[in-house]
Chain A
Amino acid sequence: MRENLTQLSYVLAAVLFILGLRSLTRPDKARQGMQLAAVGMLFAVCGTLINHEIVDYRWIAGGLVLGAVIGYPLGMWVPTTALPQRIAISLSFGALASVLVGVSEYYNALHGVGETIGTARMAALGFEVLLGSLTVTGALIAFGKLQEVLPGRPITFPGQNIANGLLFLIAAVLLVIVIIDPTQSAAFYSMIALATLLGVLMVIPIGGADMPVVVALLNSYCGLAAAATGFALGNSILIICGSLDGASGFLLSVLMSKAMNRSFSNVLFGAFGGGAPAAAVGAGGALPVRAISAEDAAIQLAYASRVIIVPGYGMAVAQAQHQVRELAELIEKRGGEVKYAIHPVAGRMPGHMNVLLAEANVPYDRLYDMDEINGEFPQTDVALVIGANDVVNPAAREDKSSPIYGMPILDVDRAKTVIVLKRGMAAGFAGIENMLFHAPATSMLFGDAKASLSKLVSEVKAA
């Protein structure tokens, strides 16, 4: 009877989760759908609490309370600019939960107090713990890079890929050993140690701008580890959710890689931008750059009838999204039309710019994907680029020798005039010279994005 109730709650939860994810296809229905998904989670948890295997509720109650106390600030207080690292750290938590469940199952079985482990179950446990441990440390490193506790640039050493490959091979061999003979606990625990090390080594060589792919991929790993937990425990709701999560992460990382015109393996093993950026920057030193004052830029904006704003990571760093919206409203009040062009990999995670602008009360129907808006640049009076670089570099379209050749970009260079807000002339993450900044139609407004925008706002008001 109890068992049936539990299963029923899982079925309900699965339905509500899928409906919740489906609601995310419609921005106006999404909130309601996700609230239903949260109810589904409540069902699943209550359904589990009546499980007859649970005899002692003290640790459970403590864990639930402590988790809620930590979770609340992570949900309510984290600023939207810090979302990428917030997601990364929670991937680490999720994977850790999977690993710990796996280890405790294994420990119980090994000491004769749990169910004995068959080959299939051991394979699931081993896979879960291997993938989980790798994700725990990988996501921690990603967190460190995004939070800038660790340097964001790729950290590489000679023979890195070979070393990683060897480590992975050893971990895989250990996994096979444990599957064949589950009593080999030394192999099991060494596998965990190796996987945690591997997680660090895999993410360390990946640069900050590639983080969208990495975070999405770790999301996928985290889901697969949860699914493996489901196989190990014979729990179908875990399998379903793990599979959903895995599919979502996988899909996002494919989309992100495509948006950078790079393969998975290139992102993971390429250590992009680690090469010789100095030479490329030096070559551009002699090219002309037209700097513009805030006053002149404001006049251009004030009398423009079509403006497209192109936000990039620089806007997130300067937390300038509110000033952007203020400027856009002023231009609209004067009769101009303002749209936002969002590149899929702008920022440090998928959809990062959209959330920042939504937070600043920019209506979401003004935010356009790359494919939707690229045709409109030739009719645009002013394209305002805020802290974006590689995603607007025309070399990706024209220069076959460029490392980013083939990457889909926003065709900002086709606009009638371009104003670029930028700190200085430093090259972008990829270390590639951007000819857009030297084009005759482009003027550069140097300085912190937030300060520049505030100046623009007051100048447009006065114009």
Chain B
Amino acid sequence: MLFLELYIFVLAGFVGYMVITRVPPLLHTPLMSATNAISGISLVGSLVAAGSHRSNVATILGFVAVVCATTNIVGGFLITDRMLKMFKRDDPKVKSPSESK
């Protein structure tokens, strides 16, 4: 099982490296906020900790973890979308709504 997990880790790392080297510097900030939102996936671990009711300590810690992870997911995806919405091409035919008053 451990080695299977190591395979997953290494292969995902390779995929990440291949994909992310091709992200242009133009989008490096959205990239950071996007990976930040995706790393909110630790929510799946937090959910189990908060809901499995094994001990009060674990439930409380899990609750705080759920709050933190959800904050990152909601805030991260929203801010990434907000940023990406701002990147516009210079196309004289299609004026963006903010320019054509």
Contacts and interface: CB of A to CB of B under 8 A. Distances in A.
Contacts of A54: 47-48, 51-52
B39 A67 contact: no
Interface string B38-79: 111111111111111111011101111111111111111111
Contact of A354 (B29, B38, B91): B29
B77 A38 contact: yes
B20 A21 contact: yes
A416 B56 CA distance: 70
Contacts of B24: 25, 27, 369
Contacts of B16: 21, 243-248
B22 interface: yes
A238 B49 CA distance: 14
Contact of A104 (B17, B61, B76): B61
6 contacts: A25-B22, A80-B86, A98-B42, A104-B49, A244-B12, A369-B24
Given A103-B61, A354-B25, A63 B88 contact: no
B55 A107 contact: yes
Provide the main secondary structure of the chain B interface. Answer: helix
Contacts of A28: 89
Size bracket of the A interface: 35 or more
Nearest to B16: A247
B45 A235 contact: yes
A344 B26 CA distance: 9
Interface in A324-348: 342, 344
Best-surrounded residue of A55, A68, A354 (most CB of chain B within 10 A): A354
A71 B73 CA distance: 8
A129 B63 CA distance: 17
Interface string B1-16: 1100100111011011
A63 B31 contact: no
A291 interface: no
Interface of B: 1-2, 5, 8-10, 12-13, 15-17, 19-55, 57-59, 61-91, 96, 98-99
Nearest to B45: A101
Nearest to A34: B80
B2 to A, nearest CB: 5
Contacts of A447: none
Interface stretch (A85-93, A199-207, A428-436): A85-93
A74 B23 CA distance: 24
A364 interface: yes
A90 B72 contact: yes
Interface string A68-84: 10111111101010010
A239 to B, nearest CB: 5
B32 A30 contact: no
A149 B77 CA distance: 27
Contacts of B91: 363
A312 interface: no
Interface in A227-273: 227, 229-231, 233-249, 251-252, 255
A382 interface: no
A27 B99 contact: no
B78 A27 contact: no
Interface string A33-69: 0110110010011011101011111011011101110
A104 B58 contact: yes
Contact of A361 (B29, B48, B96): B96
